[in-house]
Amino acid sequence: MGRKPISSKEEVLKAIHRWIVERGVPHTIRELRNTLKVGSTRTVLRYLSALEQQREIKRWPGARGIRLLRSTRRGLETVRI
């Protein structure tokens, strides 16, 4: 049984946002591939390229070179300590 790819840009953006909130750093390509449950890093690179062209993210060289350019959530979030 194959993995179901995520086709919605909003789902990809939410996955990136959630990872950054939980861990404090962006995904590596391999980590994002596992999070999105896609079969290849090439698929992840296509998602990231499309999001970069749409000015949703900014990328730079390096293992964790992804930055969100807009928030995926509305309003403030509170975290219970």
Q: What is the pLDDT of residues 2-40, one digit of tens each?
A: 555 556 888 889 999 999 899 988 889 899 999 988 888
pLDDT exceeds 80 at position 75:
no
pLDDT band at 80 (very low <50, low <70, confident <90, very high): low
Dist CA 68 CA 20 (whole Å): 10
Res 1: pLDDT: 47
List Cβ neighbours of 71 (8 Å cut-off, separation of 6 or more).
Answer: 17
pTM of the model: 0.72
